[in-house]
Structure 1
């Protein structure tokens, strides 16, 4: 039993829920001490709160560290019951073999999941790659040595291997948090603070065991407050981490939406571009589509310069965007319109928008000496017509409008 207790102590700081040799026996014999039951009840209540807390947040943000922390909290809960004076039935009496198996299994489980918890919990980039790998599956090697703790006379090499695993995991955990702190991890601050109380209690206990050779009588009284502090500070750290994750995701979503808008918007006119109008067409097929082209636009650029030409295009965009049709600039001086009004109203709305182009340009670019007109190719489309086919039909009609003298709409009934 002494060997078992020393092994348990080696991993205590990493798990935060084991006791040294003298403490375990005094804990089991302390059934007459009412404060033991009170502290146990408070601690178990904190663990139940932690489990509910993790479940509630996991429903909002499905982060893996919430699962690992829930497993740790469950292991804490089961271990605290095993170490407490609470009655567990005749089979699990305080000094029974079954009780020792119970304690060992949940202790090892808590140690094993502490590595994956840290790996998922600390911010990306704050854990060195080598330590990140070591915090993954290697901690579960401890479970392979669990049987040694319940053997009457375990092989020395087997016990040494278990001790090595526990000390190694303790070292990896402390090193990981220390390096994360140096790299500016905010989460590591919470975890270091959470483990500081347990580390202090065990440090004093080990000093009594090794140097003074006497039991640390206040160990039980201080252990549960230290464990409670660990649970609360870890919960606060998780809350802080989740708030920052939520903020980062919101900012990322806002940035993605901004990029999507930029990718679907013409920078000169502010109208949707060809990609945007094609997506809109795919979502809901319109009753008609039109292509609008400014007449003799090259002459405007040649005579007045590209800055005036840009103002003309902007004014045309304002005119076309003010109607009931969805307007988009599809390139140069060309625009597309999607009509989702009644089919009988399409021709009249198209002609009003076409005439509005010239009026808006005259008002917004008064330096032009000649009026600017627009030609339009308009076509009714069937429900099964693709965007490419509809645009091709409208382009044919636009070409016909240009060939027949410009400044007009050419319209056919179906594509």
Structure 2
């Protein structure tokens, strides 16, 4: 439930006494209290899903005004809180002011980020709690200056909330529009009350009768506003998660071939160590770029990626014309699968890039590894074997049984 900027009429001891002994319509009172309980349940349900602070502040105000409504009713609350007792008046005033006090932190947490003016943001935090220092002015006929200070503080709170909402609306806040509509009735009651206190110097006798219909309207409209805000928050979080996942995929994917990149294959290696690892390099690739251009070179790399990615090993492009393969098949099947993939590279390139005059071959350095072998050590061993394949004439696999950790 939202309440901001309502002021208890000054020096209203008799008004409070009358309010607590007035004839309440039981059904209407029950409906109003039920509406407040619905608001609390509504906030609790959404807080369990989205953990937003403004739901806590709103629930605090709802509890304040639930207790206020009970205090204003003729319900027996024991000898110390009899309907016509001064303690009951204190109960009412404190709870009323707490509802006003919680408005600032609520508004600051509720409106969308960037829509609250940077100079108003800190003023919506702890300063509203200064209102509690002026609460006694609503209970007794004290010095005129004390009452004037209370009126000034409440007017400042009203102006602060209005300015915050107006600026937020100007900055495109949908939440502020909902809240402006929700608080319109309460603002009218508040304004009339302050006019009576400051100008007419008399309590606004219909204050309580006008307040509760305004509160009921506010509860319903704020519920709609909160639902809209929470739906948008959930959509924003889903979009943020989707964007983060897209960025993660981009960060772990080679843009030319669509295969995982070095970062991704290292993560896969660490998560689930393979039985063997290989490095594949296209033979005489520089000559392809020099004679046919980089566009044809890119098509060759793409075709090689398709060939290597179509096997049982996890393939990744680790830079230039180099690829890496992780084998998780049976150890005895590694050599055969590696040779099939290596030969497939040339076949796919010939099919997908028919403009090449000569066939493209690939060299491979393959190594079996133990489970405690690090990625760096495995890659180093595979690279040594690849260098050996190049030195021994290219277009072949060089394979040793184990790599050092």
Aligned to 1:382: 370
Say if 1:394 and 1:401 are closer, same or farther in 2 by CA, change over 3 A.
same
**Superposition deviation, residue 145 in structure 1:** 3.4
* Structure-2 separation of matches of 1:403 and 1:210: 98
Aligned to 1:308: 296
Map 1:2-13; keep pairs closer than 5 Å. none
Aligned to 1:53: 42
Question: Is 1:29–2:21 an aligned residue pair?
Answer: yes
Structure 1: tracts of 5 or more residues without a match: 1-11
> RMSD over aligned Cα, in angstroms?
2.5
Map 1:253-272; keep pairs closer than 5 Å. 253-272=241-260
**Superposition deviation, residue 374 in structure 1:** 0.6
Per-residue CA deviation, residues 71-104 of structure 1 (Å, 9 max, x unaligned), is 1111111111111222222221112122122112
Say if 1:355 and 1:296 are closer, same or farther in 2 by CA, change over 3 A.
same
- Does the 8 A contact of 1:266 with 1:273 survive in 2? yes
Question: Is 1:14–2:4 an aligned residue pair?
Answer: yes
Say if 1:174 and 1:214 are closer, same or farther in 2 by CA, change over 3 A.
same
- Does the 8 A contact of 2:5 with 2:190 survive in 1? no
* Structure-1 separation of matches of 2:402 and 2:287: 34
**Superposition deviation, residue 225 in structure 1:** 2.2
**Superposition deviation, residue 201 in structure 1:** 4.0
SS of 2:305's partner is helix
- Corresponding residue pairs, total: 400
Map 1:300-339; keep pairs closer than 5 Å. 300-339=288-327
TM-score by length of 2: 0.91
Using the TM superposition, name which of 152-161 and 66-75 deviates more.
152-161
SS of 1:130's partner is coil
Say if 1:23 and 1:243 are closer, same or farther in 2 by CA, change over 3 A.
farther
Aligned to 1:403: 391
1:81 to 41, 60, 70: 70
* Structure-2 separation of matches of 1:203 and 1:171: 11
**Superposition deviation, residue 148 in structure 1:** 4.8
* Structure-2 separation of matches of 1:111 and 1:219: 15
Question: Is 1:65–2:57 an aligned residue pair?
Answer: no
* Structure-1 separation of matches of 2:165 and 2:313: 60
**Superposition deviation, residue 212 in structure 1:** 9.2
* Structure-1 separation of matches of 2:172 and 2:68: 33
Map 1:152-167; keep pairs closer than 5 Å. 154-167=142-155
- Does the 8 A contact of 1:17 with 1:76 survive in 2? no
Aligned to 2:329: 341
* Structure-2 separation of matches of 1:253 and 1:46: 35
* Structure-2 separation of matches of 1:168 and 1:217: 23
* Structure-2 separation of matches of 1:230 and 1:203: 16
